[in-house]
Amino acid sequence: MNADLPWLKAPLADALARARSHALLVQGPAGVGQLELAVKLAQSWLCEAAAPAQPACGQCPSCKLFSSGTHPDFQLLLPEALEAPARESLGLPFEEPDTKAGKAKPSKEIKVEAVRQLLSFAQATSARGKAKVVAIFPAEALNGVAANALLKTLEEPSGLLRFVLASHDSASLLPTIRSRCQPLPLPLPDTAAALAWLEVKGVKDAAGLLAATGGRPQQALEWFEAGLTDAAWQALPKRVARGEVAALSELAPPRAIDALQRLCHDLVRRSHGQPGQFFATTSLPSPKRAAPLLAWEGELRRAARHADHPLNASLWLEALVAQAQAAVTTSMR
């Protein structure tokens, strides 16, 4: 199983030492390894050779089953849309999604049917007698019906059942779900560790992309693999200010919105005399007024609700860039 993120070593040790509940909630920003930490916890709980509260040995029969994705006492619950990419990133077996015409698009929610199947697994006896572990990611993908179906088992697990939920938006979880879990914060990794990992992965100008993602190394790697360079990122503010739709045309709609929201955030900071957070300060104009930018920020929030399904993507993008250009121009006066 490929889940080797060096900055997770200390949080893993801390979680194993501090775990006092049958259910843990790994929470923190996206792109720093919540899923990988959840899976490492699960493997450690199932390991048959490691001492209590110690990381998995990686060599015992249980660890070998786990690494091959065939451990009978482990279940990983993901939305359909994440099944293939998440399992591939972990080095676990997966099936390619069915993309035939007429086939419904894979859901980004975890639905009640999946939870019901999970409950059948939870009620069965442990095959190897050590424990049974359920990992759920991202926990906020549980829709309301699915979350309520999970509650009783989460509150009163049978036998040796343990849960590890992972979330980058834990505030959106049902309070009843949160209250049944021991929180485990996962902060941004140390910058030096994140840069070292990105450089090993072959990311060029890693420092710029890491800053662009707000210190989230997995997201920086994803952006790099999608073709984004630091030079292109730093050119974005001036291109948007000129009304160049092509500056965003290669990005999927949700990522285009995300880029504009980061730009808006930095421009508001600049209007108050602060340096950029996601862009180099030298790449940003110096607005004189924040009001037009704050109004634009509201427009972007509204646009984000439809980013996954714009009726006409090209016209939608043109409108976004026109809004951005107008906001930047007005803020400079």
Dump pLDDT digits (tens) for 143-198. Answer: 999 999 999 899 888 888 999 999 999 999 999 999 999 999 999 999 999 999 99
- Report the candidate in 166, 161, 154 with the shortest Cα–Cα distance to residue 73: 161
Query: What is the number of other CB atoms lying within 10 angstroms of the CB of residue 245?
Result: 16
Dump pLDDT digits (tens) for 13-42. Answer: 999 999 999 999 999 999 999 999 999 999
Among 36-50, 100-114, 291-305, the minimum mean pLDDT is found in: 100-114
Dump pLDDT digits (tens) for 233-263. Answer: 999 999 999 999 999 998 888 899 999 999 9
Torsion angle in degrees (nearest 10) through CA of 58, 60, 61, 63: -20
Torsion angle in degrees (nearest 10) through CA of 120, 169, 27, 34: 70
Distance CA 288, CA 43 (A): 54
Mean of per-residue pLDDT scores for the chain:
92
Query: What is the number of other CB atoms lying within 10 angstroms of the CB of residue 316?
Result: 16
The pLDDT value recorded for residue 312 is 83
The pLDDT value recorded for residue 30 is 92
Hunting for tokens 């572990």 — which residue is that? Answer: 133
